[in-house]
Chains A and B, each alone.
Chain A
């Protein structure tokens, strides 16, 4: 909403323009009137001479100069108190009205309490965010004029500030730029991807026994894989200049570590039955075996229940209808109406698969238990495992760093820093030249008007001039 002062300013400009227009027309009228009685050369001479008007001309120049200076001062003060910057969203998702993390972009966040409090802190002298909020306004740079305009998702927003008495003598441009920069920092902090999931430390690795090591390291490797997948989805073709890697290649490397490196480690640990505390680990496996056996029993019984349900299904109720149709390959297919036994069969198969999974776990537990029993004191193997784990740790850490660097490169090149701030092109020089031209134009018009008015006033009624000049000539002769 425009302030009342803005309209007063417009009215003043309009009055000045009208005044200049009036002066212009008056001068033209006076010129036409004088033109009837004087030659152009006479008018020109009178203009150059300006006789008898020196004091008034001096006054006119002074008033015009004062007016020009006042206009320049007002303009300067206006520019000092009013400023605007453009905030442009440069990331890919902005065109869909989204934040970089996929949530909805909210333009009003520019004037959120968090941003304004931080900006007020940075400005120092302007301590109250509420005052900033009163002076600030934000709107899409390309506005929708009415309801019939086409829908548009803006990626550029105009942030403007009008300082009041409360904000002190702080320059508006400084304020609006500080707020914009604070917003940019806040936005990047809030919405730019955080690489926290790749900050791997392995500090607590000693809390885990060797047989758990594969899973422990897998969690770290899986983070790299998930992260690379997410970025690969954004730009599969991106190749980092600094690391020489694409997100797909990083993912492939992480999968290699998981499948080959960690797989080999696990095989070695199982084969050699290596544990930091074999007794404790065996105790744990025994308990696990117990639980897994119970799960197996539950699944296998559920499987059997469904088999019997299928048996129970009465033949008289099991009639189906066959319907000729097309399959996914667009070839003829005889489809069948489903009845309960179809669903029971699917369930039975699922429970059978689950029981099979339990069985696999039980067998692994049994194997590990026996291996641990046989290799309780093999310190050489432990040393080897320790070294392998250290090597894998180093590999994973290196890959995580590379992934972070590649992601940062992507953000720097593809997202252009997320938010850019620019100042609209409205230099004071242009406005100053306009004011000077207006003052000069007024000066010339007003001076011409004064001289012409004086000439008109001096002009004698028609015939008098000739008579006087004739009498003069007679007297001379």
Chain B
């Protein structure tokens, strides 16, 4: 069998090996690409009071599943222009994972409290958010994972800010007001209300984030607040004054009816509040009385009870922890306000509503007076609006009766009446008003109003300005002013809106801190797997080639090798010739035909063993003629050998012949044998024969006798001749 030469096998099948390698590596790439996943991941931390107890900024339970809520994901898909057919919302949601990260500090605190036998509600405020994509999500998976997660965070931050922090909305509620059918005074009142609400919210935001500056508008909330306040103070009040003083209206009758109705509504309200106040007072009295009779008030325990009774009654020795354990096993703050105080607060609220209603009703009546030309009433109200309001107020009776019950307040009421009386004497204009109002509030308001009026030292005539008749110029002026105010407000609201959208991003980032950037982690290290796979396939290919070639060699050895001489047998010679018979041989292709002549003689004289030995030595010499991988040397049977040399030109054949003769002479001389053989040489270029059979025939035809080993003198030369 041939020697085991793995490199020669590989070299022989190098093209097949490379093809196998490329195909398998490409297949591996496709398979790994289908299995590959990309996970975009960030870590965030909630940084506000209560976050470590699992609460949102507004005190409700923090729900981190909102990060992948349908609202967030659908907005993300819209923002990224992703089709919901290719990326169903639930599929995207299921690819988002939010995990709480363990915090060593929190764990340490918990452990310490547990050791002291206490429980802790503290929890980590750090969360890892990841989003996973695979081949089903399309192309450019890495970029997609990154951009989707980034967008999820952007949208979530904004929603978080809107939902839990910056809950107020600043919208232009009066856009298009000039196109409505409202009267001028109503329009201006609506503008005033809108500006007041806007100012309130701007103040709150300026306080919440004093360092915030919009990079798009260049304004802070403090700047915007200044602008709105300036507009409110410098434009609205003058316009209202102008409307009232010039009786500017679209429809006087309608306006008077509206304000008349308002006055009525306020009066109805006052009556309602009056009844409610009385009822609440009754409840309060009954409540306290019942507790007092049942000897169940704290005071009664303190005064009458023994120490044992005190501790066993409703004054307890220990301070109660104000929180309670809810159904979920969490401690929550408990509203400790008692029913009694709630009743009192209700009484206060009703009284406030009543008082506001009284003031509003008086103002509405003033507006009616202005437009109806009731100069006397106007003058009285302008001189002292507070006194006019207090006058004729029915609630005064109620409150007088109420305060008369208390011993302490009785004196105050009397004093107030006296003071009010004195005030009436000093001020002719206000005297009439004071005469009607001293009873109200036990005179306390009258005292205050008089104090105020004493501070205003001059003549009250200066406050009197009776309305003028309305002209078309007045109407044009008011319409122009309203339009100009609305234009200015539109500009301001546009800036507020732009600033607001940026503010939500800002405030979201203030409450949620990023702990890591958006990193994409590959599910598997594709280059490494590819490299390992490529090496594996290369090694596999090499082993495969070697194994198959070796198996081929074995078959060759069994079927096409002469085992005695260890070289190709007759069948192999025929196969080689058959393979090459159709080919045009290359230039320099050589053929050597060899035939042992005295084999029988050697066998006879020296024995068969020596004969075989000689044959083996001859075969080895013939094999040695082949130095090129494609050269062929075979035993054709009956002492015949055929050698085909790929590179046999340029005298190479003669050189090989000489070499063979020398080698055989050397080896056989040692054995004391003389070997006679024929040798025939042909070469494709020299003989002009480019077919293998023709070349072989020429070599056979040209055969000449040679002798090797112990020479019989003169014989060689004779034979050659």
- 8 A Cβ contacts from A274-329 to B: 280-284, 286-291, 293-294, 296-298, 300-302, 304-309, 311-319, 321, 323
Interface of B is mostly: helix
CB distance from B373 to the nearest CB of A (A): 17
Interface of A is mostly: helix
Q: Are B220 and A216 in contact (CB under 8 A)?
A: no
Decide: A151 near B506, CB < 8 A? Known: A1-B140, A194-B217, A305-B351.
no
Q: How far is the CA of A284 from the CA of B456 in the complex (A)?
A: 18
In the complex, the chain A residue whose C-beta lies closest to that of B146 is A108
Residues of B within 8 A of A312 (CB): 284, 344, 347, 406
Decide: A313 near B223, CB < 8 A? Known: A194-B218, A305-B355, A355-B448.
no
Partner-binding segment picked from B241-249, B325-333, B417-425: B241-249
Q: How far is the CA of A304 from the CA of B284 in the complex (A)?
A: 19
Decide: A107 near B355, CB < 8 A? Known: A223-B223, A318-B299.
no
Q: Are A283 and B245 in contact (CB under 8 A)?
A: yes
Q: Are B220 and A230 in contact (CB under 8 A)?
A: yes
Residues of B within 8 A of A104 (CB): 153-154, 157, 505, 508-509, 514
Residues of A within 8 A of B351 (CB): 305
Q: Are B445 and A107 in contact (CB under 8 A)?
A: no
Q: Is B34 an interface residue (CB 8 A)?
A: no
Q: Are A194 and B514 in contact (CB under 8 A)?
A: no
Q: Is A461 an interface residue (CB 8 A)?
A: yes
CB distance from A280 to the nearest CB of B (A): 7
Q: Is B215 an interface residue (CB 8 A)?
A: yes
CB distance from B151 to the nearest CB of A (A): 7
Decide: A208 near B234, CB < 8 A? Known: A111-B143, A145-B521, A362-B456.
yes
Q: Are B230 and A216 in contact (CB under 8 A)?
A: yes
Q: Are A298 and B356 in contact (CB under 8 A)?
A: yes
Partner of A108, one of B147, B291, B659: B147
Q: Is B554 an interface residue (CB 8 A)?
A: no
Q: Is B455 an interface residue (CB 8 A)?
A: yes
Q: Are B526 and A300 in contact (CB under 8 A)?
A: no
CB distance from B672 to the nearest CB of A (A): 18
In the complex, the chain B residue whose C-beta lies closest to that of A107 is B518
Decide: A108 near B519, CB < 8 A? Known: A193-B215, A212-B233, A311-B406.
no
Q: Is A154 an interface residue (CB 8 A)?
A: yes
Q: Are A287 and B505 in contact (CB under 8 A)?
A: no
| Size category of the binding interface on chain B | 35 or more
Q: Are B506 and A319 in contact (CB under 8 A)?
A: no
Q: How far is the CA of A407 from the CA of B66 in the complex (A)?
A: 40
Decide: A283 near B517, CB < 8 A? Known: A373-B462, A460-B659.
no
Q: Is B538 an interface residue (CB 8 A)?
A: yes
- 8 A Cβ contacts from B29-82 to A: 29, 36, 38, 41, 43, 81
Partner of B216, one of A143, A190, A343: A190
Decide: A304 near B445, CB < 8 A? Known: A137-B143, A194-B217, A464-B659.
yes
Partner of A294, one of B244, B389, B403, B448: B389
Q: Are A323 and B298 in contact (CB under 8 A)?
A: no
CB distance from B664 to the nearest CB of A (A): 11
Q: Are A196 and B29 in contact (CB under 8 A)?
A: no
Q: Is B409 an interface residue (CB 8 A)?
A: yes
- 8 A Cβ contacts from B627-678 to A: 627-628, 658-659, 662-663, 666
Q: Are A108 and B534 in contact (CB under 8 A)?
A: no
Q: Are A317 and B298 in contact (CB under 8 A)?
A: yes
In the complex, the chain A residue whose C-beta lies closest to that of B343 is A340
| Size category of the binding interface on chain A | 35 or more
CB distance from B430 to the nearest CB of A (A): 12
Q: Is A405 an interface residue (CB 8 A)?
A: no
Residues of A within 8 A of B356 (CB): 298
Q: Is B382 an interface residue (CB 8 A)?
A: yes
Residues of B within 8 A of A294 (CB): 359, 362-363, 385-386, 389
Q: Is B502 an interface residue (CB 8 A)?
A: yes
Residues of A within 8 A of B517 (CB): 97, 107, 140, 152-154
Q: How far is the CA of A304 from the CA of B531 in the complex (A)?
A: 87
Q: How far is the CA of A344 from the CA of B530 in the complex (A)?
A: 78
Residues of A within 8 A of B456 (CB): 362-363, 366
Q: Is B520 an interface residue (CB 8 A)?
A: yes
Residues of A within 8 A of B516 (CB): 97, 144, 151-153
Q: How far is the CA of A298 from the CA of B513 in the complex (A)?
A: 46
Q: Are B462 and A196 in contact (CB under 8 A)?
A: no
CB distance from B580 to the nearest CB of A (A): 21
Q: Is B312 an interface residue (CB 8 A)?
A: no
Q: Are B142 and A146 in contact (CB under 8 A)?
A: no
Interface string of B203-246 (1 = CB under 8 A from A): 00000001111111111101100110110011001101110110
Residues of A within 8 A of B408 (CB): 311
Partner of A313, one of B344, B359, B505: B344
In the complex, the chain B residue whose C-beta lies closest to that of A106 is B150
Residues of A within 8 A of B15 (CB): none
Q: Is A434 an interface residue (CB 8 A)?
A: no
Which of A198, A222, A317 gathers most chain B CB within 10 Å? A317
Which of A102, A301, A471 gathers most chain B CB within 10 Å? A301
Q: How far is the CA of A293 from the CA of B214 in the complex (A)?
A: 39
Closest 10 CB pairs of A and B: A196-B218, A97-B514, A287-B241, A194-B218, A103-B505, A151-B516, A340-B341, A144-B519, A319-B298, A316-B297
A-B contact pairs, 23 of them (CB 8 A): A15-B21, A100-B215, A104-B154, A104-B157, A105-B514, A106-B150, A107-B146, A108-B518, A137-B142, A138-B146, A146-B521, A193-B215, A215-B230, A229-B210, A286-B382, A294-B362, A296-B452, A300-B448, A308-B403, A317-B297, A319-B315, A366-B455, A370-B462
12 new A-B contacts at CB < 8 Å, known A193-B215, A298-B356, A359-B452: A102-B212, A104-B157, A104-B514, A107-B150, A151-B516, A194-B214, A284-B241, A309-B348, A311-B403, A316-B300, A317-B288, A340-B344
Binding site for A on B (CB under 8 A): 7, 18, 21-22, 25, 29, 36, 38, 41, 43, 81, 139-143, 146-147, 150-151, 153-154, 157, 210-220, 222-223, 226-227, 229-230, 233-234, 237-238, 240-242, 244-245, 284, 288, 291-292, 297-300, 302, 315, 319, 340-341, 344-345, 347-348, 351-352, 355-356, 359, 362-363, 366, 381-382, 384-386, 389-390, 399, 402-403, 406, 408-409, 441, 444-445, 448-449, 452, 455-458, 462-463, 465, 502, 505-506, 508-510, 513-521, 526-527, 530-531, 534, 538, 624, 627-628, 658-659, 662-663, 666
Binding site for B on A (CB under 8 A): 1-2, 4, 7, 10-11, 14-15, 18, 26, 96-98, 100-108, 111, 113, 134, 136-140, 143-147, 151-154, 190-199, 208-209, 212, 215-216, 218-219, 222-223, 226-227, 229-230, 233, 280-284, 286-291, 293-294, 296-298, 300-302, 304-309, 311-319, 321, 323, 339-340, 343-344, 347, 355, 359, 362-363, 366, 369-370, 373, 456-458, 460-461, 463-464, 467-468, 471
